[in-house]
A = this chain, B = another copy of it.
Amino acid sequence: MKALEQKILTEGKVLPGNVLKVGSFLNQQMDSDFIMEIGLEIARLYAAEKITKVLTVESSGIALAVAAGIALHVPSVFAKKHKSANLSKEVYTASVYSFTHGETYEIAVAKEYLSKEDTVLIVDDFLANGNALRGLMQIIKEAGAGLAGCAVAIEKGFQGAGDELRAQGIRIESLAIIDGMSDGGVTFRA
């Protein structure tokens, strides 16, 4: 998606440790028209699948999941990272190790929101080491639901997880794939 690559080049900030900051338009401040464009592009990519649910994990994936859900006219669900008093005890869970925060957290989805009748599209803002996606896939498997594939805005291609998942036969659609990052900027996969 050329518009996303352009946005990353003009508004993204490369920080030490291969961190790409896109908080100005993607995941803390959301450029609403652009977020909706991404949602429509995700819907277009998966138009041939009979998606029944969009699944993401809080918080930074929610905006894109909502936009994709609106574009696909199906519900979106987000996995919670902490146990909440309002959350049913009847949950599917998975453990996810976060390199960003250097810790393992639990993600949970109430069982009532995923079933074996569902065909699920996973949506997230970033794909780096793939741990969040793997956790969400584990939850889908536990629910006995089908996985249509994953759609992420930005894949850090140089970390390899996206290609590993593709090699396992999982459909991964990344709207921008970064193959290199440096102080000078980012290099996109051709």
Contacts and interface: CB of A to CB of B under 8 A. Distances in A.
Contacts of A100: 84-86
User: Size class of A's contact patch?
Assistant: 35 or more
Interface in A96-123: 100-101, 109-110, 112-113
Interface string A6-21: 0000000001000101
Most buried by B among A24, A69, A101, A112: A69
Interface string A38-68: 0000000000000000100011001101110
Given A66-B67, A80-B59, A86-B100, A32 B113 contact: no
A147 interface: no
A109 to B, nearest CB: 8
A35 to B, nearest CB: 6
B70 A85 contact: no
Q: For chain A, what secondary structure do more than half of its interface residues adopt (helix, strand, loop), or is it mixed?
A: mixed
A183 interface: no
Most buried by B among A29, A63, A65, A77: A29
A21 B84 CA distance: 12
Contacts of A110: 23, 28-29
A86 to B, nearest CB: 6
Nearest to A67: B66
Nearest to A112: B24
29 contacts: A19-B85, A19-B86, A21-B86, A23-B86, A23-B113, A24-B112, A24-B113, A25-B75, A28-B77, A29-B77, A29-B110, A30-B65, A32-B54, A32-B66, A32-B69, A32-B73, A32-B74, A33-B73, A35-B66, A59-B80, A62-B62, A62-B66, A63-B66, A63-B76, A67-B70, A84-B101, A85-B100, A85-B101, A86-B100
